[in-house]
Amino acid sequence: MNVVSSYLILAAILFCLGLYGALTKRNAIIVLLSVELMLNAVNLNLVAFAKWGIAPSLTGQIFSLFTITIAAAEVAVGIAILIAYYRSKATSDVRDMNSLKR
Amino acid sequence: MEAVYAQYAWLVPLFPLIAFLILLAIGRTTSRVGPIIGVLAAGASFVWSLFVLFEQMKGDGMGYVWNDLEWIRAGNFVLEMGFEVNPLNALMLAIVSFVSLLVNLYSIGYMKDDARITVFFSYVALFTFAMLALVISENVVQLYIFWELVGLCSFLLIGFWYEKPEARAAAKKAFIVTRVGDVALLIGILLLVWNMPGHALGFTNIANAFANGEIAGGTATLIAILIFIGAVGKSGQFPLHTWLPDAMEGPTPISALIHAATMVAAGVYLVARTYPVFEASSDALQVVAYVGAFTAIFAAIIALTQRDIKRILAYSTISQLGYMMMAMGIGAYAAGIFHLFTHAFFKALLFLAAGSVIHALHEQDIFKMGGLWKKMRLTGWTFAIGGLALSGIIPLAGFWSKDAILAEAYHSQPVLFWIGLITAFLTAFYMARLFFAAFTGPAETDDAARAHESPAVMTIPLVILALFSIGAGFVNIPGSERLAAWLTGEAPSDHSSVLVIVLSNVVAVAGLLLGWLMYGKKAVPQDWLSGRAGWLYRLSFKKFYIDELYEYLIVRPLRVFGYFLHLFDEFIIDGIVRLLAGITVGLGRTGTRLQNGQLQTYGLVSLLGIVILAVAFVGWRFVVNAG
C-alpha cells in the first residue's frame, strides 16, 4: 500500500460523509456544509496526485486553489440564497424547498 | 352527318353534379333556393338528353364513343375513361332525366315542410348524376363506380328520415343486400379483365369479343351469371328482392325515382348493356329468363295481400322487373327495354300519385283510406290511368310493352308465356284491389274524410306522367316496331299474334273485374279464398317468409359469429392495447412520483444511477478480462 492510497481513502471517507450529509440532512445550511466537505475531498485528491501521482506537477495544487476560491464564492451565493429564502418563507428545511416542482 | 350533340353528352350528368356541389356548399341555410337549383339542373339535363336522343333517332343508330382520357396504366394494361352514346343509352338518358325532373318538381310540394329539404335535393341531384353517368359509361369499371354511387345514394335517400328506426334498418338492408350482388358483379368484372384479349374493358370490345367467340363456353356462362347476379341485387330480383319493399321507408318521391328510373333500372340496363355476353351463353339466358319469370309471379302473389299502398307498388315493381329480365332471357332484348321505358312512366306515376294520397292522409294502409275518388279527382284519375297501364289494358303504354314480351315468350318459350299471363292476371287483380279499396267506398277514417287534393306542383307531374302512360306505348306497336328497330339496328322479327293480345287483355280485364267485384262492389266476399285456405293467405301476407328465412339462415348465424369476433376484439385485441397503455400509464405514474421537487431525492436517484453504471462498467471489464 503506497502513500497515495491513504490520501485517497481519507478523501473517499470525506466525500462519502459529505454525500451522506447532502442527501439526508434537513437543514439547508448543513446541506451546504456537506457540499463543501465533498469539494474538499476532491481538493485532497488533487493535491495528493500532484505530489504522489505518476506524473507529479504543480498543476493539481493550482487547480485546488481555484476550486477553493470558487467554493468560497459558491458558498457566499448559496448562503445569500438561503437567507433570502428564509426571509420570504421562514424556513430553512430542504423538504419545504419544492416550489419548482410544477 | 356528324353526331354533334352526342359529343357533348357528358353535359347531361354534369348538370346534376354541379347542382349537387352547389347544394352541398349552401347547405341547409337556404331552403328556398335549393329546390329551384335541383329542378333547374334536372331540367337542363332533360333538355340536353332530348337533343342527344333526337339526334340518335335521326342518325340511324350512329353512335359516338370518346375514351381518350387515360386513367390507369399498369404494364401493358391501359384503362381509359370516357363516354359512349348509342340508341340504348340515349333513351336511358332521356328516361332518367325526365323522371328525375318530374320527381324534383313533385318534391317541391311533397318535401315542402321538411327542414332538410336542401339536403334532400342535393341527394336527389347526386343520385341523378350517378345514374346518368352510369348510363353513358364507356367501360365496365367506370360503370361499376357509378353503380356503387347509385347504391350509396339510394342508401342515403332511403334512410333520409334517419330518426325513424325502420328507415335506418331499411337503408342498411338495401345497402347490404345489394352488396351481395355487387360482389358478384365485381368478380364478373375481374373475370372479364382476366379473359378479355388485351384486357380491354370497353363495352364495344366486350361485345366484339363475345360476338366473335373469343370467350365462350363455361367462362362466358360464368361471367354472364355473375353480371346477372349483380343485376339481380340492384333490380330486386328473387332471391335478393327483400330490400326493395323495405326501401319504401324513404320519402315517396324517392320511391318513384328508385323504382322508375334509377336504382332498379340500373340492373336491367346492365344486362342490356352487356347483352352480347349473355348471347354467348344460352345457359345464362335460360337462368335470366327463369329467374325473371319466377320473380314476376312470386312478387305478384305477395302483392295480392299487402296492405301498405307503397309496398303493393314495390312488389309490383319487382314483378315488372321480372318481366323485363324474362324478356332479356328469351332474347327479346328490345321488348325488355321497351317495358323499362313504359314502366318508368306508369310506375313513377303510380308512386307519385300514391305520394299525393299519403301527403293528404298521412296514412299508408289502403283499408284505412276509402272514398278518395271524389276528394282527389286528379290524383284518382291519374292513379287509375297508371293502374290500367300497369295492368296492361289496351291501348295504354303498359299493354304494348307487356304484349311485346308475352308475344316473344309465346313464340319461343310457351311455359314462360303462361307464367307471364298468370302474372298479368294477378297484376290486374291487385291493382284493382288497391284502387277500389283506397279510392271508392266510404271513408274509413277521419283523415280520409278530410282529404283534399294536393297542390299543383304535385299534380302537374302526375298529369304529364299520365299522358305518357297513355301514349308512350305507340312508339313500338305490333307491325310498326320503331323502337325495337332503332335499338337493335336491324329489322325486328314480328312475333305478335292476335291470340296473345286477346288473351292478355282478357286476363287483365278478368283480374280487374274480380278486383272490382271483391273490393268495389263487394259482391264477392273478400275472404272467400283466405277463409278457405288461410295458409295460402298467410304465406303471401308474410312474403313467403323469405325475410324470416334470411333472418334465421344468414343474419342470426352471422350475428353469432360477429359476437364472437366482437369478444375476440374486446378482450384479445383491445386487451393487448389496454395492457400497453396500462404499462405506459404505470411508468408515467412512477415517474411523476419521483418528480416530487425534493432535491435530495433527485440526488439520491442520480447517485444510484452512477453506482449502477459503475457496477456495470466494472463488471463488464471484469467479464472481458476474465474471458
Q: Which chain A residues touch B611 with a CB distance below 8 Å?
A: none
Q: Which chain B residues touch A94 with a CB distance below 8 Å?
A: 598-600
How deeply is B524 buried, as exposed, middle or buried, from its count of CB atoms within 10 A (0-12, 13-18, 19+)?
middle
Question: In this complex, do A95 and B598 lie within 8 Å of one another by their Cβ atoms?
Answer: yes
- Sequence-ordered list of residues with C-beta below 8 angstroms from that of B404, at least 6 positions apart, any chain: B327, B332, B334, B335, B338, B339, B476, B478, B481, B484, B496
Q: Is the preceding omega at residue B395 within 30 degrees of 0, hence cis?
A: yes
Question: In this complex, do A22 and B603 lie within 8 Å of one another by their Cβ atoms?
Answer: yes
Is the per-residue pLDDT at A102 higher than 60?
no
Is the per-residue pLDDT at B61 higher than 60?
no
Q: Cβ(B310)–Cβ(B275) under 8 Å? A: no
Question: In this complex, do A98 and B597 lie within 8 Å of one another by their Cβ atoms?
Answer: yes
Question: In this complex, do B599 and A94 lie within 8 Å of one another by their Cβ atoms?
Answer: yes
Q: What letter would DSSP give residue B73? A: E
Q: Which chain B residues touch A22 with a CB distance below 8 Å?
A: 600, 603
Nearest-Cα distance to chain B for A57, in Å, is 29
- Is the Cα dihedral A50, A51, A56, A62 positive or negative? positive
Question: In this complex, do B597 and A24 lie within 8 Å of one another by their Cβ atoms?
Answer: no
Q: Read off the pLDDT band of B392 (50, 70, 90).
A: confident
State chain B's mean pLDDT as an integer.
Answer: 83
B480-481 and B476-477 strand pairing? antiparallel
Q: Cβ(B279)–Cβ(B285) under 8 Å? A: yes
CA–CA distance, B127 with B118 (Å, rounded to integer): 14
Q: Which residue of A has its CA nearest to B607?
A: A19
Written as nine digits, the cell of B305 is 295481400
Is the per-residue pLDDT at B245 higher than 80?
yes
* Residue B191: CB atoms within 10 Å: 17
> How many residues in chain B?
627
Q: Cβ(B226)–Cβ(B325) under 8 Å? A: no
Residue of B600, B604, B605, B611 to mutate, testing the A interface (most A Cβ within 10 Å of its Cβ): B600
Q: Cβ(B253)–Cβ(B111) under 8 Å? A: yes
Question: In this complex, do B596 and A101 lie within 8 Å of one another by their Cβ atoms?
Answer: yes
Question: In this complex, do A94 and B603 lie within 8 Å of one another by their Cβ atoms?
Answer: no
Residue of A16, A95, A99, A102 to mutate, testing the B interface (most B Cβ within 10 Å of its Cβ): A95
Please give the single-letter amino acid code of residue B620: W
Question: In this complex, do B595 and A101 lie within 8 Å of one another by their Cβ atoms?
Answer: yes
Q: Read off the pLDDT band of A77 (50, 70, 90).
A: very high
Q: Cβ(B159)–Cβ(B243) under 8 Å? A: no
- Report the largest interatomic distance among the alpha carbons of chain B, rounded to a whole angstrom: 115
CA–CA distance, A47 with B89 (Å, rounded to integer): 103
Which pLDDT belongs to residue B586?
93
For residue B525, the cross-strand partners are: none
Nearest-Cα distance to chain A for B611, in Å, is 13
Please give the single-letter amino acid code of residue B594: L
Is the per-residue pLDDT at B197 higher than 70?
yes
Please give the single-letter amino acid code of residue B606: S
Which pLDDT belongs to residue B492?
65
CA–CA distance, B262 with B157 (Å, rounded to integer): 12
**Partner residue facing A100 (CB), from B597, B604, B607:** B597
Nearest-Cα distance to chain A for B604, in Å, is 7
Locate the DSSP E strands across B61-106.
Answer: 64-74, 77-85
3-state class (DSSP) for residue B394 = coil
Which pLDDT belongs to residue A10?
93
Which pLDDT belongs to residue A21?
93
Q: Cβ(A82)–Cβ(A30) under 8 Å? A: no
H helix intervals, B239-308 = 243-246, 252-260, 263-273, 275-279, 282-303
Is the per-residue pLDDT at B163 higher than 60?
yes
Task: Output the CA–CA distances (angstroms, integers) from residue B170 to A92, B157, B610, in the order listed.
Answer: 76, 10, 69
Nearest to B298 by CA among B280, B320, B277: B320
Q: Which residue of B has its CA nearest to A101?
A: B597
Question: In this complex, do B596 and A23 lie within 8 Å of one another by their Cβ atoms?
Answer: no
Q: Note whether residue A79 is domain-resident.
A: yes
Q: Which residue of B has its CA nearest to A99?
A: B597
Written as nine digits, the cell of B502 is 286477346
Q: Cβ(B469)–Cβ(B345) under 8 Å? A: yes
Question: In this complex, do B596 and A98 lie within 8 Å of one another by their Cβ atoms?
Answer: yes
Is the per-residue pLDDT at B347 higher than 80?
yes
Identify the contact set of chain A against chain B, taking CB-CB distances under 8 A. 19, 22-24, 31, 94-95, 97-102
Mean pLDDT of all residues in B531-545: 73
Burial B591-611, CB ≥16 within 10 A → b, else e: eeeeeeebbbbeeeeeeeeee
Q: Note whether residue A102 is domain-resident.
A: no
Mean pLDDT of all residues in A31-57: 90
Q: Note whether residue A22 is domain-resident.
A: yes
Supply the range of the domain harboring residue A62.
Answer: 3-94
Which pLDDT belongs to residue B527?
67
Q: Cβ(B392)–Cβ(B402) under 8 Å? A: yes
Q: Note whether residue A101 is domain-resident.
A: no
DSSP conformation letters of B17-30: HHHHHHHHHHTTS-
Give the CATH number, domain containing residue A84: 1.10.287.3510
Q: Note whether residue A74 is domain-resident.
A: yes
Q: Which residue of A has its CA nearest to B604?
A: A23
Question: In this complex, do A97 and B599 lie within 8 Å of one another by their Cβ atoms?
Answer: yes
Is the per-residue pLDDT at B90 higher than 80?
yes
Q: How many domains, chain A?
A: 1
Q: Which residue of A has its CA nearest to B601?
A: A23
CA–CA distance, B500 with B403 (Å, rounded to integer): 7
Report the percentage of chain B scoring pLDDT > 90.
Answer: 6
How deeply is A24 buried, as exposed, middle or buried, from its count of CB atoms within 10 A (0-12, 13-18, 19+)?
middle
Nearest to B232 by CA among B288, B153, B273: B288
Nearest-Cα distance to chain A for B599, in Å, is 8
pTM tops 0.90, yes or no: no
Is the per-residue pLDDT at B98 higher than 70?
yes
CA–CA distance, B219 with B207 (Å, rounded to integer): 15
Which pLDDT belongs to residue A76?
94
Which pLDDT belongs to residue B522?
73
Q: Note whether residue A77 is domain-resident.
A: yes
Q: Read off the pLDDT band of B567 (50, 70, 90).
A: very high
Q: Which chain A residues touch B604 with a CB distance below 8 Å?
A: 23
- Sequence-ordered list of residues with C-beta below 8 angstroms from that of B563, at least 6 positions apart, any chain: none
Residue of A20, A32, A82, A98 to mutate, testing the B interface (most B Cβ within 10 Å of its Cβ): A98
Question: In this complex, do A98 and B598 lie within 8 Å of one another by their Cβ atoms?
Answer: yes
Question: In this complex, do B604 and A23 lie within 8 Å of one another by their Cβ atoms?
Answer: yes
Place of cell 353535359: B11
Q: Read off the pLDDT band of B31 (50, 70, 90).
A: low
Nearest to B168 by CA among B109, B50, B84, B250: B250
Question: In this complex, do B597 and A99 lie within 8 Å of one another by their Cβ atoms?
Answer: yes
Mean pLDDT of all residues in B95-108: 87
Number of Cβ pairs < 8 A linking chain A and chain B: 25
3-state class (DSSP) for residue B252 = helix
Q: Note whether residue A47 is domain-resident.
A: yes
